[in-house]
Amino acid sequence: MNHGRFQTYAFSVCFLSLICGSFATGLFLFYFVKIIAPDTTINPNVLAKYSFYKSLHESNKYLPVIALKALSNNPATAQPKAYAEGDTVITSQQPLYLDDKEIKIRKLKLLELAYSNHKFIAIQGIIIQSIAILICSILFLVHWRLTKKLAI
């Protein structure tokens, strides 16, 4: 058996596992920072959606029903196909008036949900990168020992 080719293969696997391990370690640290300091890594556009900007107050404190459905956890209800005389039909064209306190509570809940989602993705990334680091470490150790045995 040609030890030179086999040793070159083992060194190549060691080199590639070190490169993959270094990328996985970098991503692991990035996900760790996402958990420790989420404000530095969260998308500013996500935060801007839930901030208390002037456009809500300039619109006389009303939100369309479509926006209400987006802000609430309630499932959409179906309208009956036939209406009796005197029934009140609510369409999506009619505005729903919310006071400042209700708007603030709903936006805070959505902001909390955005941070929770950000943290979940970071934890998921840490788990995936930990698995990648473990696999790279095992590959490196096995092939490094193999190169030492072939050198003797």
pLDDT(144) > 80: yes
Residue with tokens 């935060």, as numbered in its chain:
47
The contacts of residue 81 (CB under 8 Å, 6+ apart) are none
In the chain, what is the straight-line distance between the N-terminal and C-terminal CA atoms, in Å?
15
The per-residue pLDDT for range 25-74, each reduced to its tens digit, is 999 999 999 999 988 888 888 777 776 544 444 444 444 444 545 555 44
0.85 surpassed by pTM: no
Q: Is residue 79 a part of any domain in this protein?
A: no
Q: Is residue 57 a part of any domain in this protein?
A: yes
pLDDT range class, residue 88, cuts 50, 70, 90: low
Domain range holding 38? Answer: 3-73+86-151
Q: Is residue 78 a part of any domain in this protein?
A: no
The contacts of residue 71 (CB under 8 Å, 6+ apart) are 63, 106, 107, 110
Number of compact structural domains in the chain: 1
Tokens of 148: 């030492």
> Residue 38 and residue 32: Cα distance in Å, rounded?
10
